[in-house]
Structure 1
Amino acid sequence: MNPKQVLQQYDLRTANCQLSIGVLASGHLCLLYFGRKLPVQTDLRSVIEDLPKASYLADTDGISDFRLEQLPLMYPAFGTPDLRAPAIRVRDDSGSAIINLKFKEKRLIAGKPALPGLPATHVAGQVKTWEFDLVDSVTGLTVTLVISAFVDYDIFTQSVRVKNTATTPLRLDEAQSLSLDLLSDRFDLVTLNGAWSRENHIQRTPLRPGIQGTDSKRGASGHGQNPFVALATPDTDWQHGEIYSANLIYSGNFVATATVDMHQNTRLQVGINPFEFEWKLSPGQSFATPEVVFSYANKGFNQMSQRYHRFYLDCLLPKQFAKQSRPILINNWEATYFDFNRQKLLALAKQASELGIELFVLDDGWFGKRDDDSSSLGDWVANETKLGGSLSALTTDIQALGLQFGLWIEPEMVSPNSDLYRQHPDWVMSDLRHRPQLARHQYVLDLSQSVVQDYLIKTIDQLLTENSIDYLKWDMNRNITDAYSHGLAVDQQGEVYHRYLLGLYHVLGTITMRHPQVLIESCAGGGGRFDAGMLAYTPQIWTSDDTDAYERLQIQRGTALIYPPVTMGSHVSAVPNHQVGRITDLATRGTVAEQGNLGYELDLLALTTTEKQQIQRQVTIYKAYRETLQFGKYTVLPVDEANEWAWSKVGYGFVIVDHITIWARPNTVPKRLKVVGLTPTKQYQDVRTQRCYSGAFLMSVGLVIDRQNRDFASQRWIFKELR
């Protein structure tokens, strides 16, 4: 029998996409096809059987001319003649890491199984799940690929379950969540990279031979990288082109790579970073990888983005907040920093209420003896001298002004100068032999220890129970060093990073279950942990500590490439901007902030009467079109990207189009802005001028862009959909 003969073909279909998997006569599981949905029962056996023979490759399983290295494997292992990067590495008690995975059986499940301990997507619409068991008969290892097809969303997810069915322990050194072999290298690699204050910039480079990609070894997904990767055909733009993409639902060390082999094939892999990762698998024990969301789009980045947005709103975010309008907030941080008292806070809150703002957020400095960033993290007891009374009394007074109340916490960290650290120095990440490293005057609490998790749950639960708190800003301002846990055995220290995340997810899951009404915005020194794992518990995330409107254009475009705009915390701040010193007008700052979740972070009391009136108008207009701005279909519009940014939000009866001109240029004539994604035959009425346009006109002829006489100028159009 030809070992490359496809004995079984399994087609996993969504409304418009298809993932086809084949079982070979050799027992190997291969990717036959991933792309646009094909006619029912299209025979794909020839994809494997017609592969030309490649030279200088080893034979497989003693079969002449059977070259495993050129096959598109679904989950490659180490030790076989496939010498490309494996998806899994396991070492047995003999010291051998060789495994040879062969297909055993497949199960079709209605819906989707739970993923205990990890954030994961939930079922909406029609979902079908396939489980493919792969077995190594020598080690007693079973690897199960759990693949779900979300039919209505054109999205697939995968997690991998690794089980030790032997009588001796195994050590798991690597287990990727996804491995896709594509029989081409004609792609651009797309990742989201940057640094603190310039997170999630879109990076796009042509693939080259060898390995390329992005990863984090910081204990968090990180400012400099995001657990997302895409392969786009070179002609791809916002409206056209094919894209294969993947986003890991995980908040820690990850790796996302594309490897081009010597035969111009590309292996795309996403999962937990094998750096400093080990997992002890005793007999009968299992390990589940984080879930990865992956998709195929054939109409450019807008189609890809819109599928992720819709899917995450319906199938990832906490259900009670996913479609709930978000309040307009004022955060006191850039208005006061640590220098505040009760009188100043109440005056700021009163002014916010008069301007129509809905939520007051008290940031850092309200607890312990904290007048700067050098003390008191971990001591989550209100400083009543500074607050002029109890936290509960302050909360009551602010809510009496018609505002909701929010509070900043940083529960994963502890200051050396704190009661908590003095009582429990063994609760921090440290081996007690080396001096632990400080960052921002703080240590990382060891959330892999259940006693630390229990402390945080008790403390935060008490804070939320004893005070009327509507919103938490959950910060994390440093990454993990000294990765050692006193709660783990010597041979389990390679589990520290992952167990930290499991502990964090346990704390978040417990708090959100006990206090489902509290809206949590997560933060990690800005966007240092803006990932799908956190969004499963916190429906919005502070996008960046950089609030400059121009810088935010790039940050927010990259973030919105996969994450819904309503999840992005976006604030109007003072000028000159506190991060870069740039001056932009209030209208532009508002327009950019309204691309995400609108808030304010400036001293309202220091504004002129004119500026207060402008903010009041911004708030009033935002409330009138809030659903469209927060939940409308987001589309990037085609413009000269060297000097212009433009996007639209469509839904809830309106179309809102925003355009930003970066640099004013002399003696130039702006070109029309063409809208995308409207119904050609529908009529749209300009709310300001009352003029009506057909969708065909707006898409083919476009809107007149004003000639600007200042830098960083914004222009907005609002259209009402007419039936």
Structure 2
Amino acid sequence: MLPTGPSDFVRLDGGAVSLVLDVRGPSPVTLYWGTGLDAGADGSMLDLLAAREDAPCSPLVAAPLALTPLAGQAFPGRPGLLTHGEGRRWATYTRIVDVRRPDPGAVEIDSVDEANGVALTHHLRLDRHGMLVGWTQVRNDGPGLLDLEWLSAPVLALPPHLVEWVTFEGRWAGEYRMQTQPRVMGAVVKENRRGRTSHDAFPGILAQAAGAGDQAGEVYGLHLGWSGNHRLYADTLSDGRAYVQMGELFMPGEMRLAPGQIYRTPVLYAACSLMGRNGISACFHAHVRNRPDHARVRAKPRPVHYNTWEAVYFDHDPALLLKLVDAAADIGVERFVLDDGWFRGRRSDRAGLGDWFVDEGIYPDGLHPIVARVRERGMEFGLWVEPEMVNPDSDLYRAHPDWVLGTPPAPQLVFRNQLVLDASRVDVQDYLFARLDALLRDYPISYLKWDMNRDISHPGGVDGVAAAHAHVEGLYALLRRVRDAYPDVEIESCSAGGGRADLGILSLTDRVWASDSNDALDRLTIQRGLSTFLPPELIGSHVGPTDCHITGRRVAMATRVATAMFFHLGLEVNLLGLSDAERMELAAGISLHKHYRPLLHDGRLIRLDRPANEEAFGILAADGAQALYSFTLLSEPSGYFAGRLRLAGLDPAARYHVRLLWPDAAQKSPLFNSLRDGVLFTGSTLTEAGLQLPRLHPQSALILGVVRVPAG
């Protein structure tokens, strides 16, 4: 513990970012958060720079925009803490009682309201990558129950020159769509009551300056690491002050604190950048890659997947599956994942969930013949499960109907013919762990695809109390139990696609399924949004069927491969229905991915600012020695030619060998035809002049490989 002593200000520095807090008053207040300040900059300077005169019809001293704005301080916006005890103890007014520095990069601040019996703790850490990580904790120091209606993670004040909000919206099979709107007086509010992270209200937001884009401009980004109900509240007060609150959304009466009991918010992750949205991604990706739990991912190359779902759905035929195993191995697949349909009674989505026993009617010898063939062919074996769910038509439900979440007498909402088990119950957790444990002991399973295909629409426990929070905590506990027992087993968080993707669930899992849509063009948008916060190696991306089963769109194999290439690559196409040419092309794409996999899963993602009918990005090695760039033409340009592709991120003073890596086909463009063999260019010509793009059919993709040539 660092000595604190009397201090008016707290300063944290890390990754060319500075945070300065004012702790002179009753509550901690953000004086500055942004680009790193020089060593001589101190809090008194920042305080004077922010000084304002009195405003008409306003308080003589404005209520502070504290890390937790309080009702007792007459904060005019949304209080960061909403609580009461039997209608009293609601006007909280805390005073700082302790400031601790666990190490140079962190601070913890305790504040107490003795009259109302409420204590707050704020924890903030600024890491070496510039990522600000924090949580807020409340403790009931009073004699009776304290009803907690809202507690935000640390509330961060934003600079006034940020003029736009960027939020993330979507739906099933169309997640993570970025929407930009002007920052005007008033609040932007996104609430999620679906019991999971959700497809439509991802808990992330960007605030950006005028003209900011992917490659340039000042941008701030915030994300809440929580896999349940949540609220995002981005507000601009009438005095111009702007702030963001993010926290867990409680159902009525859900969070009641007994005397001495504490509640801690989910973790807030926040970054700032002068390099556009790419800078936000660089910060988030570096932080995630250096989390201790990410070591599981980095321990070995990310295996190329084959998933059986869109090839067979529920029609499991062991003989056919063995042929798929061989076909997958023949083209370079490294992990074979058996999806839904392998357990008792599972002939459709109407029955079987909860009965996690191999269906002897389909697999008389269990899964052993399939697993044996998978391993004989040099692949790992993975299995689909959906532990939190149960079908009414199942032995489990018939034996334990009381294990299901519900709010009687309200009828259950029909949703994919399944109900939600109350994961907060110890007996439910014990049953689910026992079944998973049996499967993991009986078979050499290296990977679990952990799905969740419905919302938690009626999150009531058997006692009638709202249990949305308790369910998520129960899920986390079950995942920890599986993780502790089987530390080498990788787990994917799938939730009808991208419905549960956040840094909370990813502390216990190893990748997320970004969307159930394998439409390559939709995936470009989905992956662009999600990769703002998550590095590519954590995002599953599969080559789907020729005709997408969800959109019906037909996209060429080369474009489907190029879209999945840069992420955690997998396949979901029926390999037995491909032509020889398609199999050869797919095998070549897998080989190319494997060759560049260390770069793709460790490099810096650089998105390129392009017209709306194009998508382009690159991955640059940490030492700048090599890069891969992807370009996709979504629709025809207005003129005869697309513009030039400028390769951002390269060293203008270096020389580079540029080669067209994908597709392997003759080009009409003299430039791109020569790039098939490779051409030497200076860095400045590539970053400033750029390459004239060839005339392409819509939905076509290109991948360029760039290697720095040693000087001399």
TM-score, with length taken from structure 2: 0.93
Residue aligned with 2:605, SS: strand
The CA distance in 1 between the partners of 2:587 and 2:27, in whole Å, is: 64
2:698 pairs with one of 674, 690, 711: 711
2:314·2:341 contact (CA, 8 Å) conserved in 1? Answer: yes
2:543 counterpart of 1:572: yes
Tell me whether 1:586 sits opposite 2:585 in the alignment. no
Matched, 1:406 2:382: yes
Moved more, 605-614 or 656-665: 656-665
Q: What is residue 617 of structure 2 aligned with on the other side? A: 647
**Helix, strand or coil for the counterpart of 1:384?**
coil
1:385 maps to 2:361: yes
* 3-state SS of 2:107 partner: strand
Match of 1:35 in 2: 34
Residue 154 of structure 2 aligns to a residue whose secondary structure is strand
Query: Are the equivalent residues in 1 in contact too, given 2:296–2:510 (CA < 8 A)?
Result: no
Partner of 2:673: none
Q: Which amino acid aligns with 1:86?
A: P
Deviation at 1:248, TM superposition (A): 0.6
* Equivalent residue number for residue 114 of structure 1: none
Change over 3 Å in CA distance of 1:281–1:628 after alignment to 2: same
In the alignment, does 2:610 pair up with 1:634?
Answer: no
- Letter of the 1:677 partner, please give it: G
**C-alpha distance in 1, partners of 2:443/2:523?**
34
TM-superposed deviation, 1:721: 3.0
Q: Show the counterpart of 2:18.
A: 18
Of 478, 488, 491, the residue aligned with 1:517 is: 488
- State the Cα deviation string for residues 179-214 of structure 1 (Å, max 9, x = none): 123362742111111111100011111012211132
Q: Is the 2:122–2:136 contact (alpha carbons within 8 Å) kept by the matching residues of 1?
A: yes
Q: Is 1:83 matched with 2:76?
A: yes
1:166 aligns with 2:142: yes
Deviation of 1:663 (Å) = 2.2
Count of matched residue positions in the alignment of Structure 1 and Structure 2: 685
Map of 1:193 onto structure 2 = 169
Please name the residue that 2:521 is paired with: 550
Residue type at the aligned position of 1:13: D
Aligned to 2:672: none
Identity rate, percent: 30
Which residue does 1:123 correspond to in 2? none
Partner of residue 116, structure 1: none
Moved more, 297-306 or 383-392: 383-392
| Matched residue, 2:662 | none
2:100 alignment counterpart: 107
Structure 2 counterpart of 1:691: 679
CA separation of 1:564/1:243 partners in 2, compared to 1, >3 Å: closer, same or farther?
same
Per the TM alignment, residue 217 of structure 1 is displaced from its structure 2 partner at its CA by 1.0
The offset of 1:10, in angstroms, is: 1.0
Contact 2:303 2:335 in 1 (8 A): yes
Q: CA deviation at 1:527?
A: 0.4
CA-atom RMSD in angstroms: 1.9
- For residues 261 and 393 of structure 1, the distance between their equivalents in structure 2, rounded to whole angstroms, comes to 65
Give the secondary structure class of the aligned counterpart of 2:105.
strand
Contact 2:122 2:154 in 1 (8 A): no
Q: Please, which moves more after superposition, 321-330 or 221-230?
A: 321-330
Distance in 1 (alpha carbons) for counterparts of 2:216 and 2:594 = 34
Shift of 1:94: 5.8
Match of residue 674 from structure 1:
646
Q: Is 2:62 the counterpart of 1:67? A: yes
Q: Which moved more, 1:90-99 or 1:546-555?
A: 90-99
The equivalent residue for 1:439 is: 415
Q: What amino acid maps onto 2:287 in structure 1?
A: F
What secondary structure, in the 3-state scheme, does the structure 2 residue paired with 1:191 have? strand
What is the letter of the counterpart of residue 33 of structure 1? Y
Amino acid at match of 1:80: Q
Cross-structure match for 1:52: 53
- Once residues 650 and 658 of structure 2 are traced to their aligned partners in structure 1, the CA distance between those partners, rounded to angstroms, is 14
C-alpha contact 1:9 1:20 (8 A) present in aligned 2: yes
Unaligned stretches of 5+ in structure 1? 1-5, 59-64, 111-126
Cα displacement (A) at 1:277? 6.0
Counterpart for residue 264 of structure 1: 240
SS in 2 for 1:621: helix
Which piece of structure 1 moves more, 541-550 or 271-280?
A: 271-280
Task: Please say if 1:476 is aligned against 2:448.
Answer: no
Distance 2:269 2:159 in 1: 21
Give 3-state SS (helix, strand or coil) of 1:556's partner.
helix
Describe the SS at the equivalent of 2:631. Answer: strand
Are the equivalent residues in 1 in contact too, given 2:565–2:589 (CA < 8 A)? no
Task: Confirm or deny that 1:720 pairs with 2:707.
Answer: yes
Alignment correspondent of 2:210: 234
Q: Is the 8 A contact 1:185 1:266 kept in 2?
A: no
**8 Å Cα contact 1:176-1:270 kept in structure 2:** yes
Deviation at 1:508, TM superposition (A): 0.8
The verdict on how the C-alpha distance between 1:543 and 1:187 changes in structure 2, with shifts beyond 3 A counting, is same
Equivalent-residue separation in structure 2 for 1:311 and 1:92 (angstroms): 39
The Cα of 1:307 is off from its aligned counterpart by 0.9
Aligned residue identity for 1:51: R
Q: Is the 8 A contact 2:13 2:105 kept in 1?
A: no
Residue 52 of structure 1 aligns with an amino acid whose one-letter code is: E
Could you say which residue in structure 2 is the equivalent of 1:700?
688
Residue range with higher mean Cα deviation, 88-97 or 539-548: 88-97
Is residue 181–residue 267 contact of structure 1 (8 Å, CA) maintained in 2? yes
Matched, 1:657 2:657: no
Alignment deviations for residues 376-426 of structure 1 (CA, whole Å, 9 cap, x no partner): 100000012213421233212221122211111111100000011111111
Matched to 2:599, the amino acid is T
Structure 1's 22 and 392: CA in aligned 2 closer, same or farther, altered over 3 A? same
SS where residue 406 of structure 1 aligns?
Answer: strand
Given that residues 158 and 178 in structure 1 are in contact (C-alpha distance below 8 angstroms), is that contact kept between their aligned partners in structure 2? Answer: yes
Which residue identity is paired with 1:28? Answer: S
For 1:374 and 1:557, the matched residues in 2 are separated by: 35
Aligned partner of 2:158 in structure 1 is: 182
Report deviation, 1:215. 2.3
CA distance in 2, matches of 1:46, 1:28: 19
Question: 1:91-118: per-residue Cα shift (whole Å, max 9, x none)?
Answer: 12563411101211100103xxxxxxxx
Q: Could you tell me which residue of structure 2 aligns to residue 137 of structure 1?
A: 114
Match of 2:587 in 1: 616
What code does the residue aligned with 1:718 have?
Answer: G
CA distance in 2, matches of 1:522, 1:351: 27
Structure 1 residue 275 displacement after superposition: 4.7
Distance 1:667 1:7 in 2: 63
CA contact (8 A) 2:135 2:266 kept: yes
Query: Helix, strand or coil for the counterpart of 2:303?
Result: coil
Change (3 A) 1:158 1:169: same
Report the AA paired with residue 55 of structure 2. Answer: A
Amino acid at match of 2:54: K
Is 1:312 aligned with 2:313?
Answer: no
Matched position secondary structure for 1:28: coil
Consecutive unaligned residues of structure 2, counting only runs of 5 or more, are 1-5, 660-675
Opposite residue 663 of structure 1, the aligned amino acid is S
| Structure 1 position 701, deviation (Å) | 2.0
1:3 counterpart residue number: none
Q: Secondary structure of 2:645's match?
A: coil
Measured after TM superposition, the shift of residue 56 of structure 1 is: 2.6
Q: Partner of 1:222 in structure 2?
A: 198
Question: Could you tell me which residue of structure 2 aligns to residue 507 of structure 1?
Answer: 478
Which of 561, 566, 570 is the equivalent residue of 2:532?
561
SS at match of 2:456: coil
The separation in 2 between residues aligned to 1:536 and 1:501, in whole angstroms, is: 13
Equivalences for residues 366-385 of structure 1 within 5 A: 366-385=342-361
Query: Quick one: distance in 1 between partners of 2:580 and 2:133?
Result: 52
Cα distance, 1:290 vs structure 2:
0.7
Q: Quick one: distance in 2 between partners of 1:94 and 1:587?
A: 63
**SS of match in other structure, 1:461:** helix
Moved more, 303-312 or 313-322: 313-322
Question: C-alpha distance in 2, partners of 1:274/1:435?
Answer: 22
2:671 corresponds to: none
State whether residues 445 and 452 of structure 1, in contact with CA within 8 Å, keep that contact through their aligned partners in structure 2.
Answer: yes
- Does residue 599 (structure 1) correspond to residue 598 (structure 2)? The answer is no
Q: Which moved more, 1:460-469 or 1:690-699?
A: 690-699
CA distance in 1, matches of 2:438, 2:642: 58
TM-score (norm: length of structure 1):
0.91
Tell me how far 1:319 sits from its aligned partner.
Answer: 1.6
SS at match of 2:101: strand
